[in-house]
Amino acid sequence: MISSSLKRFSAAALTTSVLAAALAGCAPAPSDSDGTTAAAATPTPSVPVEGEEGPALDMEAAILEREEFLDAQQQPRDGSLLSAKTPEQQEFIAQQRAYLESQGATWAPETESLLLATTLDACETAILNNHRTDADIFAMHVNSSPIFAQVTQGDAAAEQGLASIMVFGMSFVCPSDAEQWDAAYTEVYG
């Protein structure tokens, strides 16, 4: 269940000092030539593969949807810090901030930016995969994400904590994808 994602987070797994150290060296997400943020996971091919179920991915439609999604999120695309702009983002950040502070963590603008970037990146990956996500796509997203690599630095508990927050954030920002990502989270992390 999505609401249980918040409870899975362990403050010890993603301490403020780990966040601060990781954010200090954080580079902007890779960008396409047009300045848009590139997806962390490579979408599956647009040509149907023999034996696969479901329709082929429509990449042209997915790219258009991604652009519309990113525009609607009202976030800068220049690598500057993100802050909650939409009511959905604001609710996600308010709940996450309250939870982290209740666990003794100190909130900072960099924390807000990190959690929004992680969530928006997952929503973007979901869009580019035509809203079809399974454990393999989830794992590929996490394992190829520069955000996860820099923040978790190979720490499995920190990775799981950040993935939990990411899925929780999706329940606000891209709720139609959150259930699949929550199921994939459970399959990957148990």
Provide the pLDDT for residue 56. Answer: 56
**Per-residue model confidence as pLDDT tens digits over 113-156:** 999 999 999 998 988 887 888 899 999 999 999 999 999 998 99
Is 0.85 topped by the overall pTM?
no
> Across residues 101-124, what is the average pLDDT?
93
> Across residues 158-180, what is the average pLDDT?
93
Model confidence at 84, pLDDT cuts 50, 70, 90, reads: very high
pLDDT of 166 > 90? The answer is yes
> Across residues 33-49, what is the average pLDDT?
37
Provide the pLDDT for residue 57. Answer: 59
| Total count of residues recorded for the chain | 190
Lowest-pLDDT range, 18-22, 58-62, 126-130, 180-184?
A: 18-22
Separation CA 91–CA 6 (nearest Å): 13
Phi-psi region of 2 (alpha: psi -120 to 50; beta: other; left: phi over 0): alpha
Residue 115, SS3 per DSSP: helix
Rounded to 5°, the CA angle 131-76-19 comes to: 80
Provide the pLDDT for residue 14. Answer: 40
Q: Which residues of 27-50 are buried (b: 16+ CB within 10 A; e: fewer)?
A: eebeeeeeeebebbbebbeeeeee
